[in-house]
Amino acid sequence: MLMGGVVLGALQFAAPWVQGAELAQELKPIKNYTVSTAPVEQLHLETPKVPDLSGYTAQAVEAKIDRSKPGRVVVRRMVQQDALKDFIGGDERLREWVKRQQAMPQAIFIEGGHVTPQDLARALPDSQFSETEPGVYLARLPVVVAQGANLEIGKDTKDFRLSQERGAFLVNDGKLFITQSQLTAWNEAKKEPAWFRKPDEFRPFLVSWGGSELYIVGSKVTSLGYNNSKSYGVSITQYTPGQAKRLKRSAPTGWLLDSEFVDHWYGFYCFEAENVVIKGNTYRDNIVYGIDPHDRSHGLIIAHNTVFGTRKKHGIIISREVDDSWIVHNKSYDNKLSGIVIDRNSVNNLVAWNEVYQNHSDGITLYESSNNLLWGNRIVNNKRHGIRVRNSVNIRLYENLSAANGLTGVYGHIKDLSNTDRNIELDPFDTKVSLILVGGKLAGNASSPLSIDSPLSVELYRVELLAPSKSTGISFAGILGEKQDEILDLMVRRQQAVLIDPVESQAELQD
């Protein structure tokens, strides 16, 4: 049988023999599904629109730099400073800086106006901050950009280095501009970047706090971050809850444009941030994640980035109530796990026109995140599923290509997470899944084009389902095998939309 001139292949619902142990452990069969037509009109969506990206440019960032008032540079003790409390809390972290500085720890503060690295070098002794060669600067103490101040690391700076041995890092509590330059965590002894060696080894980092603005444009940032709170690499984050309540700072924000981020613990991290723009960057060979927006961040634009070589987990992930955001026109490939992940109750996001390929797990993964739209993505040759949807409802998959993946083109399933280490109060979930698939193509996936475990409902329209590599022809298996003729009659011969739902849900509606 043909669909649009192409052989329609095996569509499988809850077939334990397809996915091996994975499905056998998770399937909970539901009896008595019905197949009926669905109104085509209600499945129609206009091509989604994304925000205008033309204004996010180097010129627009340049216009934001206020050089009208010179700032001042002072050195103070780190203790009892709001911008540093998260890094000196507890004896262990305080001892870290005492050991590295060989004294009660101090930091460099930029206050009151505009400062450049040249200004820092003039104001401070070489033991604290120096120009080691023309245009190359080395900070041997933490540097804090205070509220109301701004630091500009511009094209006259070849490299702004943070000493690993001396425990330097960069804190932005005002405005920080890194344009046409470099920021490098620096190993002084080896005279090279502080390349990752082990998770808990201190490496310099950049954190931009509540109320701040961070701008990185046309620059290279190398080897930041390690496995410690707010010290992950490049972070835009609200203060911790206690401090945030007291300080009452607005959500932090920033633009990261046309830059390269290499060898960070997290290439990017944010927490309770708003309207952050991550556009046109390359994230390569980072350790845990490439791009990782987190808790309650909203209105993010993640566009036209290339993310690859993440060593431990995912290329791009948004997690825990990261809502109303756009992940569009990115390339994410050759990452240790998934290319793109929507996780932990992140809703109302658009994932569109991305190229997601050759990742070592799934292409695009949605975990416990309902009401999201995937549109026009190319998901090819990933080792596991092309698109995986777990415990999520109203997932709309429009015009996507999912091809040549190691398991299923689209895999929807439920899973009880009660007996895991998950904090159910913080991250609640429902064991429900529902999908709408319209347009696009599921082709040449090793197990099957489509497999759904215990769905609330599935709607199919205009989807080209091509034979999996391990079988040929048309073959429904598992629960819906007896409905095969009805589905094919509606979807292929009559070219209508198909609604597949359990009898139980219809009975509930009548009640």
| Secondary structure of residue 353 in the 3-state scheme | coil
- Whole-angstrom CA distances from 399 to 45, 373, 376 are 11, 11, 5
Alpha helices in 187-307 (DSSP H): 241-247
**In 458-494, which positions are buried (b, 16+ CB within 10 angstroms) versus exposed (e)?**
bbbbbbbbbbbeeeeebbbbbbbeebbebbbebbbee
Q: Can you tell me the distance from the alpha carbon of 372 to that of 489, in angstroms, rounded to the nearest whole number?
A: 30
Is the CB of residue 465 less than 8 Å from the CB of residue 488?
Answer: no
The rounded distance, in Å, linking the Cα atoms of 287 and 267 is: 8
Compute the half-sphere exposure of residue 319: CA atoms within 13 Å on the CB side of its CA.
16
| Residue where the block lists tokens 């569009």 | 328
Widest CA span in the chain:
82
How far lies 8's CA from each of 30, 73, 249, 388, 500, in Å?
A: 25, 70, 56, 21, 18
Distance of CA 26 to the CA centre of its chain: 27
Distance CA 458, CA 436 (A): 6
Nearest partner of 108 among 172, 52, 199, 193, judged by Cα: 172
Q: Which residue has the tokens 């390359």?
A: 282
99 vs 165: CA distance, rounded Å? 10
Verify whether residue 413 is a known catalytic residue.
Answer: no
284 and 308 in contact (C-beta within 8 Å)? Answer: yes
Q: What does the block give as tokens for 437?
A: 């698939």
Whole-angstrom distance, CA of residue 331 vs CA of residue 340 = 10
Residue with tokens 């008595």, as numbered in its chain: 32
Whether the Cβ atoms of residue 290 and residue 332 lie closer than 8 Å to each other: yes
Question: In this structure, what token pair is assigned to residue 217?
Answer: 């444009």
Task: Given the residues 294, 314, 329, 385, select the one marked as catalytic.
Answer: 294
* Residue 342, SS3 per DSSP: strand
3-class DSSP state of 145: strand
Active centre residues (catalytic):
294
